[in-house]
């Protein structure tokens, strides 16, 4: 199970600062891109982030109905 901790910034925007993948803890160095998609079926907003992790990996995080999904890009 993937858990994402967020920093709530100015004007309510949120940005991830830590990811938990099972027992692994991954710190976010910087956010390379972020998007918000509106799902027509359930009118919910879903977030997508591409981040550079503290271990040098590039990770894509996608929020869905079942929670967060993580893909390793490099």
Measured CA to CA, the distance from residue 19 to residue 73 in angstroms comes to: 15
Report residue 9's pLDDT band, with 50, 70 and 90 as the boundaries.
confident
- pLDDT at residue number 45: 82
Interstrand relation of 24-38 and 14-21 (parallel, antiparallel or unpaired): antiparallel
Domain with 13, as residue range(s), is 2-72
* 32-71: pLDDT as tens digits: 999 988 877 777 888 999 999 999 999 999 998 888 999 9
pLDDT of 4 higher than 70: yes
If one compares 33 and 1, the residue with the highest pLDDT of the two is 33
Domain count, the chain: 1
Closest Cα partner for 28 from 49, 10, 1, 48? 49
Task: Give the pLDDT mean for 10-35.
Answer: 90
Q: Are 38 and 67 in contact (CB under 8 A)?
A: no
């Amino acid at each position: 199970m993937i858990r994402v901790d967020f920093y709530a910034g100015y004007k309510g925007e949120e940005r991830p600062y830590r990811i938990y993948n099972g027992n692994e803890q991954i710190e976010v160095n910087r956010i390379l891109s972020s998007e918000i998609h509106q799902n027509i079926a359930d009118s919910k907003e879903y977030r997508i982030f591409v981040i550079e992790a503290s271990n040098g990996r590039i990770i894509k995080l996608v929020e869905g109905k079942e929670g967060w999904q993580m893909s390793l890009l490099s």
